[in-house]
């Protein structure tokens, strides 16, 4: 997965990080086009791993969707370039 400019991970993000995030909580999410600030509203551990229900704005519209743990991070885990 190519990372959009502006964010660089400190270390590998593991699914345990999503499990430990508070609800509701501020997060940074990767949509199809870019990283966005948003809210983590719910989380669940399914057969394919952890998923989070997130809400964020993209292109002037509000988006609410389930994303895999790899696309959801705590703002504390990211550093600007």
Query: pTM, whole model, 2 decimals?
Result: 0.74
21-61 pLDDT, tens per residue?
A: 889 999 999 998 899 999 999 999 888 888 999 999 999 99
CATH tag for 8-79 (out of 3.40.50.970, 2.30.30.30, 3.10.520.10, 3.40.50.300): 2.30.30.30
SS (H, E, C) the chain: CCCCCCCEECCCCCHHHHHHCCCCEEEEEECCCCEEEEEEEEEEEECCEEEEEEEEEECCEEEEEEEEHHHEECHHHEECC
> What residues does each domain of the chain span?
8-79
What is residue 67's predicted lDDT score, i.e. its pLDDT?
Answer: 94
Residue 20 has a pLDDT of 81
């Amino acid at each position: 997965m190519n990372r959009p400019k502006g964010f660089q991970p400190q270390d590998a993000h593991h699914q345990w990080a999503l499990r430990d995030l508070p609800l509701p909580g501020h997060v940074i999410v990767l949509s199809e086009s870019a990283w966005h600030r948003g809210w983590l509203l719910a989380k669940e551990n399914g057969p394919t791993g952890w998923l989070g229900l997130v809400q964020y704005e993209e292109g002037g519209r509000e988006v609410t969707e389930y994303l895999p743990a790899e696309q959801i991070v705590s703002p504390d885990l990211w550093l600007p370039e």
